[in-house]
Structure 1
Amino acid sequence: MQALTLPALGGWQWLAQGYALFRRQPAMIGLLTMAYWMSVLICNLLPFIGPLAASLVMPGLSVGVMTACRNVDQGLPVTPALFFLPLKEHPRPLIWLGGIYLVCTLAVLALAAVVDDGALLQAAAGRVGLDEAGLENGNVILAAQLILLLMTPVLMAYWYAPALVAWHQLSVSKALFFSFIACLRNWRAFLVYGLGLVAVGAILPGIVIGLLGSLFPSAAGFITSLLTLPLLMVLAPTLFASFYISYRDVFVPREPVSEHA
């Protein structure tokens, strides 16, 4: 198992090629993406065990959507049955991945809660609001920085791990290791990927909605609602497709082109 190192612009290509892949099969990729979010939502609605169940099945379901993207890329049939296929074939390691990610996330949040007495955690849970004074609180800012610092290596280890478990039959520990190394080698591409995602997912839509809202102030709320849903219906499947493109570019070496071709 070897992770390739890509140039920084590779991160933008993940988004661009992800969108192109989504356009090749928008109905099925969009349907499976919606099924993913609905499954997570329904699990979270279950009393007591809901959030735990959602965390445990998320890795397997995410690979299910990526499997559909892989089939589209390879010209293979895409069916709804692909959604549950990884969990059906590799239930134990994928559920273990979900559990490890949940434990790490809870540990990071617990450490942050020690710093700001749980203010940020309560705000994220919707129990309290963070007013301007709260945002200026040094402890809250420090807790947010701590979460960012500690969650970065967790996300790096988790990013490719579900696909490596499902598609390469790696053990959980090896999948986490190779995922971390792959992200570390490609930090420049991931930086561009993140900036591109912020640009196309937040800044540009915000500019468009803001301009239309200023031109038609009486319909600003309607315009926001009208544009938000179509944006999500394109952006969410594009994200899953870009996850697959990222995996493909990093872990699937290209065939060398013959000079006589």
Structure 2
Amino acid sequence: MTALTITRPPGTAGLAWLIQGWRLFTAGVIPWMGMAAMGLLAMMLIGSLPVAGTSVVELLSPFLVAGFMVAARAARAGQPFSFYLYVNGFRDAPQPLAVIGAVYLLASLLAQWTMQTMGGEGFQLMAELAQTRPDKIDPAQAELILHQALPAMAVGLLILTPALLATAFAPALVLFDGFPPGRALYWSLWACLTNWRPMLIYGLWLTLAAVVAMLIPFGLGLLVFVPVALGSSYIAYTELFVQAPPPAEAGAPAEGDA
């Protein structure tokens, strides 16, 4: 296992990560879009399976991320890459990545159950209106959503957010640094919390980019957004987690050391 320490970049680093992710994408547009198309198609096919399709997608998501991390490392080194790199996660770290996927799946199921339980009729009504005619809502329905559904969604978000932060860099830590899954989840969460300023800026810009991508028809925007998002995530990983100095040269432990 690689000895690492967590750095503390300035808040402006969040936007810089996204810009560098875009540069990685533009340096190899065709292979990046090919990887995105293969990954999204596989996830769509798996997600269409009855009953457990969505759960299987969430369980396998760290393997998708791992493939993009390997591709981003290769692209940054000027090496060729393609969708065949998806096998790296299954070959090199199948059990740790499966554990990370299971943790995210459990958090997602818990958040969903909490929202449905707390939201009750208001949450169900909001879901129905979103699929039909949200502009036809009446005052009674609006009050029901305001007092039941929205607080339930806030609680669900509080449950899901730590899981998202913990799994953000965990696949890379497992694959590149040999971290066990529990330690990788902890380090990822701690790195995100101690660097909340750049992570917040990064998340806001990434959300804006996602909205723009969703507006582009035929899913073409996603073929750009996914590689840029995951490529920039790799850039963030390389800047947040750096090799610790040898014990003889090390001073006091960094805040992120564990």
TM-score (norm 2): 0.81
> How far apart in 2 are the matches of 1:195 and 1:87?
32
Matches within 5 A, 1:79-94: 79-94=82-97
Name the structure 2 match of 1:13. 16
> How far apart in 2 are the matches of 1:64 and 1:121?
36
TM-score (norm 1): 0.80
Runs of at least 5 residues in structure 2 that lack an aligned partner in the other structure: 245-258
Task: Report if aligned partners of 1:122, 1:128 keep a CA contact under 8 Å in 2.
Answer: no
Name the structure 1 match of 2:174. 165
Name the structure 2 match of 1:35. 38
Name the structure 2 match of 1:181. 190
Name the structure 1 match of 2:54. 51
Task: Report if aligned partners of 2:170, 2:184 keep a CA contact under 8 Å in 1.
Answer: yes
> How far apart in 2 are the matches of 1:245 and 1:125?
40
Task: Report if aligned partners of 2:66, 2:171 keep a CA contact under 8 Å in 1.
Answer: yes
How far did 1:94 drift? 0.7
Matches within 5 A, 1:54-65: 54-65=57-68
> How far apart in 1 are the matches of 2:8 and 2:128?
38
Name the structure 2 match of 1:234. 224
Counterpart residue identity of residue 63, structure 2 = G
The farther-off stretch of 66-75 and 79-88 is 79-88
Name the structure 1 match of 2:160. 151
How far did 1:54 drift? 1.6
In structure 2, relative to structure 1, the CA distance for the partners of 1:6 and 1:232 (3 Å cut) is same
SS in 2 for 1:2: strand
> How far apart in 2 are the matches of 1:173 and 1:10?
27
Name the structure 1 match of 2:252. none
User: Are 1:96 and 2:99 an aligned pair?
Assistant: yes
> How far apart in 2 are the matches of 1:24 and 1:115?
47
In structure 2, relative to structure 1, the CA distance for the partners of 1:198 and 1:27 (3 Å cut) is same
How far did 1:65 drift? 1.5
How far did 1:110 drift? 1.3
- The alignment's C-alpha RMSD in Å is 2.8
In structure 2, relative to structure 1, the CA distance for the partners of 1:196 and 1:52 (3 Å cut) is closer
How far did 1:126 drift? 8.9
Matches within 5 A, 1:216-255: 225=217, 229-252=219-242
Counterpart residue identity of residue 72, structure 1 = A
> How far apart in 2 are the matches of 1:31 and 1:38?
11
User: Are 1:142 and 2:151 an aligned pair?
Assistant: yes
Counterpart residue identity of residue 246, structure 1 = A
How far did 1:166 drift? 1.3
> How far apart in 2 are the matches of 1:65 and 1:125?
35
How far did 1:60 drift? 1.0
Deviation track 1:137-168 (CA, whole Å, cap 9, x = no partner) reads 21111012112222221111111111111111
Deviation track 1:234-256 (CA, whole Å, cap 9, x = no partner) reads 222211211111111111369xx
SS in 2 for 1:7: coil
> How far apart in 1 are the matches of 2:125 and 2:6?
39
Runs of at least 5 residues in structure 1 that lack an aligned partner in the other structure: 210-223, 255-261
SS in 1 for 2:211: helix
Aligned-residue identity in percent: 28
Task: Report if aligned partners of 1:165, 1:172 keep a CA contact under 8 Å in 2.
Answer: yes
User: Are 1:195 and 2:204 an aligned pair?
Assistant: yes
SS in 1 for 2:8: coil
In structure 2, relative to structure 1, the CA distance for the partners of 1:157 and 1:247 (3 Å cut) is same
The farther-off stretch of 160-169 and 75-84 is 75-84
Task: Report if aligned partners of 2:35, 2:83 keep a CA contact under 8 Å in 1.
Answer: yes
